Amino acid sequence: MEQQEAAIKTWLIENRLKGIQLLQRLVQEKSVRSEESKAQALIIEKLRRMGLTLDIWEIGGSELINHPIFSSDRKHFYGNPNVVGVWKGTGGGRSIILNGHIDVVPEGDLNDWKEDPYGGVVQDGRLFGRGSTDMKGGTVSLLLAIEAIKSSRIKLKGDVIFQSVIEEESGGAGTLAAVLRGYRADGAIIPEPSSMKVFPKQQGSMWFRMTVKGKSAHGGTRYEGTSAIEKMMVVISEILQLEKVRNEKITDPLYAKIPIPIPINIGKIQSGEWPSSVPDLAVIEGRMGVAPNETLMKARDEMETCLARLREKDEWFQHYPVKIEWFGGNWLPGAIDESHPLIQTISRSYQKIKGDPPIIEASPWGTDGGILSNIGDTPVVVFGPGTTEVAHDSNEYIILDHVFQAAEIIALTILEWCSGES
Amino acid sequence: MEQQEAAIKTWLIENRLKGIQLLQRLVQEKSVRSEESKAQALIIEKLRRMGLTLDIWEIGGSELINHPIFSSDRKHFYGNPNVVGVWKGTGGGRSIILNGHIDVVPEGDLNDWKEDPYGGVVQDGRLFGRGSTDMKGGTVSLLLAIEAIKSSRIKLKGDVIFQSVIEEESGGAGTLAAVLRGYRADGAIIPEPSSMKVFPKQQGSMWFRMTVKGKSAHGGTRYEGTSAIEKMMVVISEILQLEKVRNEKITDPLYAKIPIPIPINIGKIQSGEWPSSVPDLAVIEGRMGVAPNETLMKARDEMETCLARLREKDEWFQHYPVKIEWFGGNWLPGAIDESHPLIQTISRSYQKIKGDPPIIEASPWGTDGGILSNIGDTPVVVFGPGTTEVAHDSNEYIILDHVFQAAEIIALTILEWCSGES
């Protein structure tokens, strides 16, 4: 196996430029929601050249739409397919799913970007752009890993199933569709931006929308109205308090270094139409983190109890209770034990390349891993080259060395995993 | 004069139904900004039938646009004219401007309306709809007052100048254009919704837009970002504190019964694009009240000093100071003395109709009176039939009896004022 590992290393060094160019081209395709097709076309072209068996399909259909955890407010998925490439093993070995999502979140305030968010500029060993870290860099690591093994003429016993899915940022309908299509394996790697840490446990999360009522009036006699903005501030303070209480209960050592293990993020607010009117409606949208050992339902209950408590603190809410909807994305939490062979294998590979063992933590966000493990019965590890703190941020970047290190670690993991007996 | 007053009373009783129908038709025309033309067409038709000399023009031109107090973010005013109707006096008498605005604010959340906001439903002596109180009811009182006098074949010495202007809700460009066109008088009545109170002093006001920065991050690691929403809440709390301090300084007895004489209203907020991202930008829009004896500039200074103080309280604002723009509407404050003949005249008329003297207070909002008095050198009283607390609110209504009482009081005021020597 040492010879094979050396061949992989050499191939990765020789093909560094091609890898960077592929990532650059992927970042240049702005694959925000409903616009994933051009980036998927690049993936398809790459998989074809690599000689994988392609499965390209537009997700949908009643089995998907009616699945209890299906979650998407998208009207249709036409023209923006899921893409799977399969490299069949010689037989008898452990199979592996390598899953990356192609969708990226919007770029935010353009003024905050030093460079074009879809330029893919390379500077000081970093490649900049929306999606570079979350998670086209990770997807490139997967593709490089497979190509490095294949090009080194290594034969694997187990199947390698590469997936480039849509909708991860909005609730995981792409991965759910892949599971329902029958894709399952003995293990899965999702190279979300873990900053090269290994995450055996993944936080779940779900989106909420709250509607807070006020009573409108002319701004000059604002005391005759009730500002929905001021009431919204009361609601937000209460949510922050709930976040505090929930996080104090987290004792899992994998979360020891994470300031807020399961955050409640207020992502979006909107209220009012006119500077001189007291607003009568405020809408809050956000994301609630769910602990790996918690159910979505239990977390929802805690939030709804918190909102009900507002009635005791402020009479206004007795008359106008805050309305809550759980809409759009929800990501199931997931967890495998640290002693699971998949964690052991990836940790060994990591140590071979980096010298030290990896940092093992719990993921600060939900991933499609919750669906793969809970619905697809496939054990999942999250490990990727992206930098956690720049995901969703302006000036998002990825450290190129990490893309190639992750590619090598993943290649070695595949090599060991798929050579082993299933 | 008693005979004339009796004739006016009789005419108003006999024409009650026609008055209600006119108000109903005006409310049914949704004259929000840039859509004032159909409601103005009704006014034009009415003035034509009454035999007034019409002046209809689309406002604009360099004198208006370059005027130091001109304020409008509207691209153009084509198709939505100002309307003035003049009834020339026989000469030598005091002239009067009767000014109403035809624009209404948006209706807000439709779910809060029991009836169609543009239905003009009459129920229990009230007429419901956006603009009924603010201020089409007042405009109908003006039209009824003029028609009652004219139909009673009374001749006045002074000119009566009726104005139906656009843009009052957005900064007064319509009245400014009328002043620049040369319309001035010895006195003016603006029947804004004063709840039948007499306002010799009017609060000024202006609009502001604040931009608060945050630092975006993924919601699952929100501690790596800084929420623009949380920083916005700090800014709003500071503004509410400034409002408190400013209002404690108001000692004018005309404000004695007003809970917040010069409010600072937060009318509109917007932040964030994605439930799972930490928002990096929040925008606040609002309206700052300006005391009758204060300048806009002094009030602006106080707000800007307040924002500068934030830097001492929270280091974030040292790096990312809150940006403020004074945009869109600004309404000059205005004041005449309680002993002014115009206040005396309207108070006498009020007492004749209602038995008791009127409540004299300071207006809780800016009106076009600031422009008429400061730029047009015309003393102004605000007195109207609308109900102050339902202006800009859902289920806005007007008490129909007040429309006719105000019409009679205004008719008697015109009669006395324009019969007197100038």
Q: What is the CATH number of the domain that holds A173?
A: 3.40.630.10
**Residue range B17-33: mean pLDDT, rounded:** 98
B157: left (phi over 0), alpha (psi -120 to 50) or beta: alpha
pLDDT for A421 equals: 79
Could you tell me if A285 lies within 8 Å of chain B, comparing CB atoms?
Answer: yes
Do A366 and A394 lie in one domain? The reply is yes
Residue B1 has pLDDT above 80, yes or no: no
| Domain end residue (candidates: A331, A366, A397) | A331
| Domain end residue (candidates: B300, B331, B362) | B331
Q: Tell me the chain B residues in contact with residue A209 when contact means C-beta distances shorter than 8 Å.
A: 275
pLDDT for B420 equals: 82
Do A194 and A235 lie in one domain? The reply is no
Do B183 and B257 lie in one domain? The reply is no
Residue A326 has pLDDT above 80, yes or no: yes
Round to whole Å and give the CA distance between B326 and B328: 7
**Residue range A231-235: mean pLDDT, rounded:** 98
Of A203, A269, A365, the CB nearest to B272: A269
Residue B171 has pLDDT above 90, yes or no: no
**Residue range A126-137: mean pLDDT, rounded:** 98
Do B175 and B253 lie in one domain? The reply is no
Kindly state the percentage of chain A with pLDDT values over 70.
100
pLDDT for B33 equals: 95
pLDDT for B365 equals: 81
pLDDT per residue over B189-205, tens digit each? 999 999 999 999 988 99
The single residue of B5, B36, B103, B107 carrying the catalytic annotation is B103
Do A53 and A134 lie in one domain? The reply is yes
Residue B328 has pLDDT above 80, yes or no: no
Provide the domain count of chain A: 2
The single residue of A36, A168, A192, A238 carrying the catalytic annotation is A168
Could you tell me if B281 lies within 8 Å of chain A, comparing CB atoms?
Answer: yes
Beta-carbon separation of B219 and A278 below 8 A = no
pLDDT for A286 equals: 97
Average pLDDT, chain A: 95
Do A82 and A33 lie in one domain? The reply is yes
Contacts of A133 (CB under 8 A, 6+ apart): A193, A386, A387, A390, A391, A396, A397, A398
Query: Containing domain of residue B87, as a range?
Result: 2-202+333-419
**Residue range B405-416: mean pLDDT, rounded:** 98
Burial A29-40, CB ≥16 within 10 A → b, else e: bbbbbbebbebb
- Name residue, tokens 């009374």: B154
Of A205, A225, A394, the CB nearest to B393: A225
Round to whole Å and give the CA distance between A272 and A229: 8
Do A274 and A389 lie in one domain? The reply is no
Do B211 and B264 lie in one domain? The reply is yes
Closest CA to A140 of A50, A43, A8, A23: A23
One-letter amino acid at A410 equals I
What does pTM read for this prediction? 0.78
pLDDT for A319 equals: 97
Q: Any idea how long chain B is? A: 422
pLDDT per residue over A174-186, tens digit each? 999 999 999 999 9
Alpha-carbon distances of B117 from A213, A274, B32, B167, B390, rounded to whole Å: 19, 17, 12, 20, 13
Do A282 and A292 lie in one domain? The reply is yes
Query: Sign of torsion, CA A14 A15 A21 A23?
Result: negative
Do A321 and A362 lie in one domain? The reply is no
Cβ–Cβ under 8 Å, residues A159 and A378: no
Q: Tell me the chain A residues in contact with residue B267 when contact means C-beta distances shorter than 8 Å.
A: 219, 272-279
Measure B54 CA to nearest chain A CA, in Å: 32
| Domain end residue (candidates: B331, B350, B371) | B331
Residue B163 has pLDDT above 90, yes or no: yes
Q: Tell me the chain A residues in contact with residue B285 when contact means C-beta distances shorter than 8 Å.
A: 272, 275
Residue A1 has pLDDT above 80, yes or no: no
Q: Tell me the chain B residues in contact with residue A393 when contact means C-beta distances shorter than 8 Å.
A: 215-218, 225, 280
> For the domain that residue A326 is a member of, what is the CATH number?
3.30.70.360
Query: Sign of torsion, CA B280 B285 B291 B292?
Result: positive
Kindly state the percentage of chain B with pLDDT values over 90.
86
Alpha-carbon distances of B373 from A44, A122, B160, B380, rounded to whole Å: 72, 63, 17, 6
Q: Any idea how long chain A is? A: 422
Do B195 and B342 lie in one domain? The reply is yes
Round to whole Å and give the CA distance between A208 and A306: 14
Nearest 5°: CA angle at A172, between B225 and A365? 30
Could you tell me if B321 lies within 8 Å of chain A, comparing CB atoms?
Answer: no
pLDDT for B64 equals: 96
Query: Can B103 be counted among the known catalytic residues?
Result: yes
Residue A422 has pLDDT above 80, yes or no: no
Closest CA to A166 of A84, A270, A287, A268: A84
pLDDT per residue over B243-301, tens digit each? 999 999 999 898 888 899 999 999 999 999 989 899 999 999 999 999 988 999 999 99
Do B326 and B338 lie in one domain? The reply is no
The 10 Å Cβ neighbour count of residue B149 is 24
pLDDT for B364 equals: 80
Could you tell me if B61 lies within 8 Å of chain A, comparing CB atoms?
Answer: no
**Residue range B319-344: mean pLDDT, rounded:** 92
Structure tokens at B408: 């009679």
Round to whole Å and give the CA distance between A141 and A158: 20
